[in-house]
Amino acid sequence: MLRVSGLSLCYPNGKEALRDFDLTVEAGELVAVLGGNGCGKTTLLRCIARTLAPSAGEVWVNGTDLTHLAGDGLRRARLELAMISQHASLVRRASVLSNVAMGSLGRHFTFRTALGGLPESELRAAHGHLAQVGLEGLAAQRASTLSGGQAQRVAIARALAQRPRVLLADEPVASLDPEAAEEIMRLLSRLAAAENLAVLCVLHQVELACSYAGRVVGMRDGRMAFDLPRAELSRELLRHLYLSEAA
C-alpha cells in the first residue's frame, strides 16, 4: 500500500536529513516510527506526503509513484494519502460536521464547494465518520469549543472523509494527556484494521508504540536503525536509539 525506497533528502546547506530510507506499510497495518529529536521522522512523513521534495528515491502509494508528480497530478494522487499532525488544525469557526466534510473537498470541485459550500452527500457521510471516532453528538458544535483529544478525533474523522488508503500521523498524541493519547492510539489501531488503512505513525512514547503498532521502525540521523515487529523490540535497541541523541 505504501512503499518507500531509497528516499533521501539533502538540504542546500549539505545537511542530509534523510538517507536511503526503505519502508513498506501494508493495508491494515499500523507502523510506528520512533527516534530522537531531529532524527528525520517528520521529514520522512513530509517527503512521503510530498510537502517536501526528496532529493532521491521513490514513494509509491497504492501503485502510484508520487515523487515524479506535480501540479494537478500530485493533488489527485494525494487524495489516497491523508495526514494528521500534533495539532488538529481545524477551522475553528466552522462546525465539527463541516470540518469533517472538508476532508472530501479534493473529490468535489463544484461551484458550491468553490464558494464555501459542502456537498450534501458528504455532510451526511460526515455523521458516519464522526460516529467512527465516537463524536456523533458534537456535529453541530463549533470546532473552537473542543478539547485537545476531541479536536484530534475530529481531525481523524476529516482524514477518513478523504477516503484515503494511507494515513500519516505526525506525533498525533504529543499534546494530549495520557488518557486521551491512549484513546487516539486505540482509535488509529482500530481504524487501520476496520478501514484497511496503512497507518504510519510518528511517536515519542515508546510504550504506546509497543502497545498499538504491529511493527516499530527506529530512526537515527536520517537513517533506519531497525524495522522490527513490536515483540522483538528490546531495551538495548531503544537505549541505543535515544542515546545517540545525547552523544
Distance CA 150, CA 158 (A): 12
Interaction residues for another protein, span 140-179 (CB under 8 A): 155, 158, 162
Distance CA 99, CA 101 (A): 6
Among 107, 127, 230, 240, binds another protein (CB under 8 A): 107
Task: Give the total of residues touching another protein (CB under 8 A).
Answer: 30
Would you say 81 or 241 has its CB closer to another protein?
81
Q: Which one, of 243, 223, 226, lies nearest residue 41 by Cα?
A: 223
Among 9, 102, 126, 176, binds another protein (CB under 8 A): 102
Distance CA 203, CA 189 (A): 14
Would you say 49 or 233 has its CB closer to another protein?
49
Q: Which residue has the cell 509513484?
A: 65
Would you say 108 or 230 has its CB closer to another protein?
108
Would you say 94 or 206 has its CB closer to another protein?
94
Mark the segment that binds another protein (CB under 8 A) among 32-40, 92-100, 119-127, 188-196.
Answer: 92-100
Would you say 158 or 215 has its CB closer to another protein?
158
* Amino acid at position 200, single letter: L
Interaction residues for another protein, span 33-62 (CB under 8 A): 49, 51
Between vectors from CA 205 to CA 136 and to CA 236, what angle results, nearest 5°?
150
Would you say 102 or 200 has its CB closer to another protein?
102
Q: Which one, of 5, 99, 119, lies nearest residue 58 by Cα?
A: 5
Q: Which one, of 203, 162, 166, lies nearest residue 184 by Cα?
A: 203
Q: Which one, of 189, 199, 184, 97, lies nearest residue 148 by Cα?
A: 184
Would you say 10 or 105 has its CB closer to another protein?
105
Is residue 114 a contact residue for another protein (CB under 8 A)?
A: yes
Give me the least distance between CB of 182 and another protein, in Å please.
24
Is residue 82 a contact residue for another protein (CB under 8 A)?
A: yes
Distance CA 154, CA 188 (A): 12
Cell numbers for 217: 521502525
Give me the least distance between CB of 45 and another protein, in Å please.
11
End-to-end CA separation in angstroms for the chain: 36
Give me the least distance between CB of 162 and another protein, in Å please.
5
Q: Do residues 139 and 148 touch, judged by C-beta distance below 8 A?
A: no
Q: Which one, of 231, 201, 243, 238, lies nearest residue 85 by Cα?
A: 201
Give me the least distance between CB of 167 and another protein, in Å please.
11
Among 13, 14, 71, 109, binds another protein (CB under 8 A): 109
| Interface residues toward another protein, by CB under 8 A | 49, 51, 75-76, 78-79, 82-83, 85, 87, 89-94, 102-107, 109, 113-116, 155, 158, 162
